[in-house]
Amino acid sequence: MSYTVAVRALCEFTAKAGDLDLRFTPSPTAQEGIAGHATVAGRRGTGYQREVVLAGEYKHLKVRGRADGYDPAKNRLEEVKTFRGDLARLPDNHRALHWAQVKIYGALLCRERELEQVELALVYFDIVKQKETVLKESHEAAQLFEFFAHHCEIFLQWADRELAHRDERDRTLSGLTFPHQDFRPGQRVLAESVFQSASTGRPLLAQAPTGIGKTVGTLFPLLKAAPAKKLDKIFFLSAKTPGRKLALDAVRTLMEKQPDTPLRTLELIAREKSCEHPDKACHGESCPLAQGFYDRLPAARAAAANHAMLDRQRLRELALEHNVCPYYLSQEMARWSDLVVGDYNYYFDLSALLYGLTTENQWRVAVLADEAHNLVDRARGMYSAELDQLTFRALKRQAPAPLKSAFERLNRQWNALNKETDAAAGPDAAYRVHDQPPAAFLLALQNAIAAITDHLAEQPAVLNSDLNRFYFDALHFNRIAELFDDDAFIVDSVPLTPARGRPGSRLCLRNVVPAAPLAARFDSAHSTTLFSATLSPPGYYADLLGLPDNTAWVDVPSPFRAEQLEVRIQQRISTRYRDRQASLAPITALIADQFQQRPGNYLAFFSSYDYLERALAMLRDQHPHLPVWAQQRRMDEAARQDFLDRFQESGQGIGFAVLGGAFSEGIDLPGQRLIGAFVATLGLPQINPVNEQFKQRLGALFGDGYDYTYLYPGLRKVVQAAGRVIRTGDDQGVVHLIDDRFARPQVRALLPAWWRLGGG
């Protein structure tokens, strides 16, 4: 069995040494890098060969890559590296890595073209000064073959271990058995649909009710399919921490009967939650875990590879045993794990780690997106950007001299844009929409970005958090502007009036339809399954997420019986904004009456903290004997857990929460821990100028502007919240839907079919 590796990956594995150094050294953008390579190639002679594809073998290792250029007349092979700033600041270990790459390419070239020797050149191209610095070495083919063999031997020691791991992994997964005596009702339908998706490569939208074991029901069939479909990786992606915990618990459950299965599972954690020294910078002169990181990484990597479950705690223990950074060890182990559990952003974001590794290494991957109804809003956030002029002006006042001119030009263009907008929309308009991203403003922003980049390249030791923050915000804004499409984005500005000084604006690029960038992510995966209890109507999600036309749909029948859940529509109460004050008395009376009829644990959901707090105050005033507790505006993980811990099996009380918040989905309170819920809202997004623009744009694209903007997102939150009540086949409970609009046929049609709706 052979193993294939890219030249770059081979050299990064075998030739990287020294410190982890993340001091900010501005590098060229992708476009600048491409342009720089083209400039260098354009300066060469007519016989110059660009992007030379090279491949070769050493024993059972296949090595492939693409050298930047070869000049047959000079017999010179070139590797071009673009940069900005002072080349002397390039770390020695970076240059050693570059030489390793060009030597590997040289060995492949000499073998392929039967050359006895070749001149190798590292061409460092300054994209600002458009100047080349060329470092040259002449090498005999025999020398290069020896170098190639040495690095291949180092890599093969690891590759042989990974090949054996893969072979044993596939053998044991082929015989994987379901961890329970039988599937839960509905779970088999879900599992079979996921297996079929993996077999055919068709994406799958799977709506499956809460409480049937969706996590095990999706992971098991994919693991079972992995050997036959030659899957390299499975990515389990979730919107929130509880979803990732459920996935890790499911893996442990699946492996209980086959504990020797060499399935390497990795949990990816955000950098700020992994850092051991948050007071130190990420380089060897500051952080002890960065000093000599690459020298200690091989031992840490080998130790980590011996563990099947690399969750947050285990990975931290291994990292500290080997004195390396836990976060960057996890980034490394993403390359060598079979199942990776992490947030959506690791695959769907603009600079997603897992997506980048997938395309770079041509992996065959399967993606599971848990609670996929969240992906629409999360993706919109990933592909939106905004800049605040008042924040920028504060930065401009303290900007170093080299940035003054570029910042002044940007501020002038921003003011000119505000003036144009005032003339078109009126000076009192609280919200202004632009037809296109303002070209003059973007040009000034790009000039400011270039000026900051050059300044930071010349002053790498100077730290200014405000400048860095604006710089990265500006880079993101510029990247989103490059993606702009009339259908997918809205450009708007919001006036900002400071206590003192000149008014300004907040300029926004709002993504409305993230379909285009997400479609590329779906195309790169062998199969993708998006699953949730609320994915109706499927066309809404297919349209907004960019799913292909061959996407399969399954609506798993509920295992629950209508008599388990009493659903009462309180149609004499309106929770519309204008009616909220009048609604408080009947809502609190309803809660108190229900509690008196059947004491136990309840959740009461409201559309906002203000609405919640007013209802809670009235309930406490009129019914002081009722035990109540409430979600707060800012709760850390410990506070959220304290809130949930109040729901004891033998407890009694009402927890007040905001619909769409941390307690309306992704929590499991079976049995007597929760016996009912009150939903005092349709969950409709607020009517405001931004949402009205969304309605207009979505109506033009899909014909259902109101439903796509308001109704579908709102009812999804209602169904998710109500789904907290019935979690097992033995649960009994009640849900009060509080608003007269729940009685409308269009609204009732979007509620779960197994609910038996009654009046209140």
pTM, two decimals, is 0.92
Residue 659 has what pLDDT? 96
The dihedral built from the CA positions of residue 143, 144, 147 and 148, taken in this order, carries a sign that is negative
Q: Give the pLDDT confidence score for residue 24 in this predicted structure.
A: 59
pLDDT digits (tens, 9 = 90+) for 680-711: 999 999 999 999 999 999 999 999 999 999 99
Q: What is the structure's pLDDT at 740?
A: 96
Predicted pLDDT at 212: 87
State residue 488's pLDDT score.
95
pLDDT at 260: 86
> What are the two backbone dihedrals, phi and then psi, of residue 138, each rounded to the nearest 5 degrees?
-100, 135
Q: Collapsing DSSP states into helix, strand and coil, what is residue 434? A: strand
> Closest Cα partner for 319 from 349, 334, 338, 299?
299
> Could you list the mean pLDDT of each consecutive 10-residue stretch along the chain, which spans 760 residues?
90 93 71 89 92 96 96 96 84 91 98 97 92 96 97 96 96 93 92 96 94 92 96 96 91 90 95 89 87 95 96 96 96 97 97 94 96 96 97 93 95 93 73 91 94 80 80 95 94 88 92 96 97 95 96 94 95 95 97 97 97 97 96 91 94 96 89 96 93 96 95 96 91 96 94 88
Cα 104 to Cα 149: distance, rounded to the nearest angstrom: 9
Rounded to whole angstroms, the Cα distance separating 60 from 53 reads: 20
DSSP 65-114: EEEEEEETTTTEEEEEEEE-S-GGGS-HHHHHHHHHHHHHHHHHHHHHHT
Q: Which residue ranges form the domains of the chain, and what is each CATH number?
A: 3-157 (3.90.320.10), 179-267+337-383+514-555 (3.40.50.300), 269-333 (no CATH), 386-512 (no CATH), 562-759 (3.40.50.300)
Phi, psi of 344 (to 5 degrees): -50, -40
- The total of other beta-carbon atoms located within 10 Å of residue 113's CB is 14
pLDDT at 187: 94
Residue 627's φ and ψ, nearest 5 degrees, are -75, 125
| SS3 state of residue 387 | strand
- How confident is the model at residue 185, as a pLDDT? 87
Q: Comparing C-alpha atoms, which of 179, 183, 116 is closest to residue 143? A: 116
C-alpha distance from residue 503 to each of 399, 422, 500 (Å): 20, 12, 9
Helix ranges (DSSP H) in 366-427: 375-382, 389-397, 401-425
State the Cα–Cα distance between residues 529 and 539, nearest whole angstrom. Answer: 15
Q: Which tokens go with 207?
A: 């709506």
Per-residue pLDDT tens digits for 148-205: 999 999 999 999 999 999 999 999 999 999 999 899 889 999 999 999 999 999 999 9
pLDDT in the model for residue 206 = 97
Angle between helices 353-361 and 515-524 (to 10 degrees): 50
